[in-house]
Structure 1
């Protein structure tokens, strides 16, 4: 065997040996029996023409030359991972798209986007998962989704993004609440109130917390959806902070009222997000075209 004939098994063993310092641990990490790992290392040393590792009472450590080769092996493995991610993305390019959207986007914008995609991208199969903004990033990071939509004020590290829409949070109350008729409500009064808010990890909650942070914080009542928040406010639990998109019908019908809070910065950007570690599938690019240019 020549060095040019080494395959990924050889590189994985060398990288594992560098990380673990033991041929037994390296064998377990690469899924080999220890005798097979030892024979593979001997073959590598024979083809290289020099020792890659030395046995010590504490285990197996790489020689100076072995460390150089192990560093190069790590680069080979990283390149192989990039190829795998690219092939996976191209495989998903065949007309299927896995989307994960935060609740406000999923409930109030996604239906029209999906309807437009059905008309303009016939044959595309779209799967939609719904979660809060943190959960969207988790699904993208795990590879369970190709494209995500979030409403939080920040984008996590390792992701690309595109602004697709603007939204505004509003403070809502029952029509018989004093804030419904009192004119402008000071931010400090809003912050001190027992507010009904979304759960941690929600983009709505992140935006509200950021806007209210300079004014302190009173008690909070956490709920897991926009619908539960609106129902809780209507039942008299307290004022709430929620997307205008989520309560526009309730505000128009008079079931809920908006408390004017001009001192609070409650506008936000809705974003499409995707992993920076792999190319965006063509199906996701086509869907983004519909989102950004309308139906």
Structure 2
């Protein structure tokens, strides 16, 4: 046996030995009996031509050369895991597609997308989780979602993205609020007012904070959803900054009034996002192609 004949079992054991400092613990971690683990280490040392570990009163510690090889073993295991994830992604045809969407996208765009997918992508089993933009990125990073949709002004490091829609935030008030009769409000008045806003981590909040920051700051009343924001404004808590998509019905019915805010940059892009470290599953590619060409 030569070093070129080592397989993942050898590398897993060496990485476990580096982590635990004990042949027994490394054996348990890799599912081997301790005598088999000891023989495996002897075989590895024989093929390497030098000692990988030494026995001490406290257990077993790697030699300097052993630590070098253990570090490389971790790289081998990480590469193998990447291959396994890639194969899993490529094997998925029209199986299950796990989507995570921020609230504005989930509430106002996703229903029509899901209906279109049911008609145009038969056989696709799509699951949807809803959270704010930070939570979407967290689900993608953990592998709980294949594809995400966010509304924030930036895309976190390690992700690819595709622009899928455009939106804008609007300042809204109760119809009897003094701002409603004025026609337009300066950016400074908006920024320093007591505003009802979404929670930190939401794309709506990130866009609002970025637009308002140059003009000052004032009290902020945080709520956890677009519906709660609209209801709070209608109840008289104060002016709110929210997606136009989320309040279009309330604006049409007269329940809320929009206030013009010349000088505030409140337009934004809604994006599909996915991990840059793994290939996008075919099911996700088909879903993106569908929403990018809704009339075809």
Alpha-carbon RMSD: 2.1
**1 CA distance for matches of 2:34 and 2:261?**
68
Compared CA separation, residues 152 and 5, structure 1 to 2 (3 A) = same
1:3 aligns to what? 3
TM-score (norm 1): 0.92
Between the aligned partners of 1:50 and 1:276, the Cα distance in structure 2 is 40
3-state secondary structure, aligned to 1:172: strand
Match of 1:187 in 2: 187
1:245 corresponds to: 245
Hey, what does 2:164 align to over in structure 1? 164
Q: CA deviation at 1:167?
A: 0.7
Distance, in Å, in 2 between the alignment partners of 1:107 and 1:203 is 14
Match of 2:256 in 1: 256
Other structure's SS at 1:55 match: strand
How far the C-alpha of 1:216 sits from its partner, in A, is 2.6
Tell me how far apart the structure 2 counterparts of residues 225 and 94 of structure 1 sit (CA, whole Å): 32
How do 1:140-155 and structure 2 match up within 5 A?
A: 140-155=140-155
Per-residue deviation, 1:65: 3.7
Distance 2:16 2:172 in 1: 57
Secondary structure of residue in 1 paired with 2:221? strand
Q: Quote how far apart the aligned CAs of 1:88 are.
A: 2.1
Equivalent pairs counted in the alignment come to: 295
SS at match of 2:51: coil
Alignment-derived partner of residue 205 in structure 2: 205
1:5-34 C-alpha deviation (Å, 9 max, x unpaired):
422121022233445555456456545565
8 Å CA contact retained: 2:52, 2:66? yes
- Cα deviations by residue, 1:21-60 (Å, 9 ceiling, x for unpaired): 5545645654556555433212211232321223356654
Change (3 A) 1:101 1:52: same
SS of 1:285's equivalent in the other structure is helix
TM-score by length of 2: 0.91
Structure 2 counterpart of 1:280: 280
Aligned residue for 1:149, secondary structure, equals: strand
Unaligned runs of 5+ in 2: none
Gaps of 5+ in 1: none
SS in 2 for 1:184: coil
- Map of 2:220 onto structure 1: 220
Tell me the secondary structure at the aligned position of residue 280 of structure 2: coil
Deviations 1:178-209 (A, max 9, x none): 11111221112111211111111111011111
CA distance in 2, matches of 1:230, 1:103: 14
Distance 1:128 1:193, change over 3 A: same
